Amino acid sequence: MVEDFEPRWIEGWIAVAPGTPAVTVTLRVNRTDLVTTLVADPAKRRVPGAEVRRFRFRVKELWDYIGTHDRLAVVVDGRPLPIAAHGTVYRPRSNGPHRLQELKDKLAGDHVFSRSGALQVAKNLDTAWQRRTMTQAGRVRDFVSERFGLDAFFIYGTLLGAVRENGVIGHDSDIDLAYVSGHRNGADAARELHDIAFALIDSGFRVLAYGTHLRIANEIEGDKDAHVDLFHTYFDEHDVLGFPYGVSGVVDVRASDWTGVHEIDFAGSTGLLPNCAERVAEALYGTGWREPQPGFNWDRDRRTRAADALMPRAWTQQIYWADFYEHTGFSTPSAFFEAVSARADVPRIVVDLGCGEGRDSVAHAEAGRRVFGIDRSQRGIRRAEAKAAELGLEDRLSFHECDVADTEALASVVGRARAEAGDEPVMFYLRFFLHSLEEETQDALLSSLDALSRPGDVLAAEFRTADDKANPKVHRHHYRRYQDGPAFGAALAQQHAFEVLEEQEGIGLSPYQDEDPHLYRVVARRSGGTS
């Protein structure tokens, strides 16, 4: 049964007699077999007297080459499978910009569908990509060895390519490395990965953190995203090698199996491979690992993972913003600052919540205001302090590492601002901050501001709205929570005793490179003050 014919993938399942060898499943367009996959491992679904096996074709760019006149089918043993709500043939609803023959020519040449479904030159043939990526892999391997005494060896798709194909898998997209932590519990192993991330950033690497691994990038030979993925593993109290990213097989790698690593020639360079590489491959991918499975998908096929070694979101966000502030800076204030600063009623004392590297804090100080910048990113605060010192603005600027969810710490900083303000009002300035908070944190912050603000205080905020969610982003990996702007303004008035003085919503407010976000701006005054 084919369950889904979606733009990103085509997936379903087959039922076979228990113990049946790997079965070939083919995606056919008209009379041409375009993509095949072998399915060998049982799935969780149950059918009486049969073994269910799932398949998935990631072919998101297929639709650019087919049209309403084409017919798609998924075939097993020469017979088409039934397609939910479509019989045995699927007819595309629209025409792609290219011809099917162009796709056939590419697939007959050096192109394949990648793991994400994009058409790419097969990585086993792309020697320039191999050279760049293996250069990055070597740098990461040397760094982890020299700084932490750990061996970074091939894992996941790279290990699979090394032991099955003696090289890179054509549809792969990166080099996967892992190390075995010396720690014996998940929390300590996760903390070690966190520490490695910060050490990498300090040494000039670009780092994007997930709960399960680090993506480590640098510009090499003009490729700004030559990257490798670094995974952490550890032997638990039962001497079983734990994989936080997960495994789809049913066998374990035990301490007794592990005898270290050895160096191999790979993709024009060298790398480390576990001595028990085939055991690791079976643990990761199951008994069918020796045969290519283009439809393999971790979200669907992952059987288990060492969940206690996942890095929490707070840590991955720390790493993200440390990397961002280390490599991103602005020499001019934001458009929101210009709009707010032009008002005649801006207080002399400013509390810049989510100040980052101090971009608008500096601008407020240069405009003659006393600014207290708050951010939970130590790296951002460090950059902001350096900028203040460079510009000789230390007397007008102070920066404080503080999580706004920590009500006592927030109250302490606001108390300092209040002491300098005396009887004057304070402005709480929140540019591009609220959409970076989870809802419960925003609620806690607004409750704190309820308690800390006085009549006459001003709140100025700018954030992304729900209408911005689908728009392309320059910084794709920011955490963003899109919300209803006018509803926020109404809540300020109805729930938090702020009178809305000005509000705007739309595009054109703060264009950035190729991005023109849909934003909401509001300036409000705490009720009870002078008008």
For the residues 273-290, what does the mean pLDDT come to? 95
Sheet of strand 498-506: strand arrangement:
397-401, 370-375, 349-353, 426-431, 458-464, 519-526, 498-506
Alpha-carbon distance 460 to 17, whole Å?
A: 66
- Residue 295 pLDDT: 63
pLDDT digits (tens, 9 = 90+) for 92-144: 999 999 999 999 999 998 898 887 888 888 898 999 999 999 999 999 999 99
Q: What topology does CATH give the domain 127-322?
A: Beta Polymerase; domain 2 (3.30.460)
Task: Give me the residues paired with residue 232 across strands.
Answer: 179
CATH 2.60.40 residue ranges for the chain? 2-120
* Residue 476: per-residue pLDDT: 75
Eight-class DSSP state of 81: P
Burial of 185 (0-12, 13-18, 19+ CB in 10 A): middle
User: Would you say residue 530 has pLDDT above 60?
Assistant: no
Q: Ramachandran region of residue 504, left (φ > 0), alpha (ψ -120 to 50) or beta?
A: beta
- Based on its alpha-carbon atoms, the radius of gyration of the chain, rounded to whole angstroms, reads 28
Residues of each domain in the chain carrying CATH 3.30.460: 127-322
Residue 244 to residue 231: CA distance in whole angstroms: 8
- CATH code of the region 2-120: 2.60.40
Our CA angle for 32, 33, 36, nearest 5°, is: 170
Backbone angles phi, psi at 245, to 5 degrees: -70, -30
Alpha-carbon distance values, 215 to 209, 280, 284 (Å)? 6, 22, 20
- Distance CA(364)–CA(388), nearest Å, equals 12
Average pLDDT value for residue range 201-228: 93
Structure tokens given for 130: 């191999």
CATH of 328-526, one of 1.20.120.420, 3.40.50.720, 3.40.50.150, 1.10.10.60: 3.40.50.150
pLDDT in tens, 420-432: 999 999 999 999 9
Mean pLDDT of the 230-252 span: 97
Q: Is 370 helix (H, G, I), strand (E, B) or coil?
A: strand
Distance CA 495, CA 221 (A): 55
Q: Where in the chain is the domain with CATH 3.40.50.150?
A: 328-526
pTM: 0.82
pLDDT at residue 531, rounded to an integer: 38
What the block records as the tokens of 314 is 């707070």
Q: Give the torsion sign (CA, 280, 283, 287, 292).
A: negative
The β-bridge partners of 52 are 15
Q: If pLDDT is split at 50, 70 and 90, which confidence band does 288 have?
A: confident
Confidence band for 8, pLDDT divided at 50, 70 and 90: confident
Helices 378-391, 313-327: inter-axial angle, 10-degree rounding? 30
pLDDT per position as a tens digit, 384-413: 999 999 999 999 999 999 999 999 999 999
Whether 162 has a pLDDT exceeding 60, the answer reads yes
The CA-atom distances, in angstroms, between 494 and each of 71, 370, 498 are 57, 30, 8
Percentage of the chain beyond pLDDT 70 is 99
Nearest by Cα to 397 from 429, 360, 424: 360
pLDDT bucket at 477, cuts 50 / 70 / 90: confident
The secondary structure element, H or E, covering residue 519 is strand 519-526
Interacting residues of 485 by C-beta distance below 8 A, sequence separation 6+: 463, 465, 503, 505, 519, 520, 522
Q: What is the pLDDT of residue 294?
A: 64
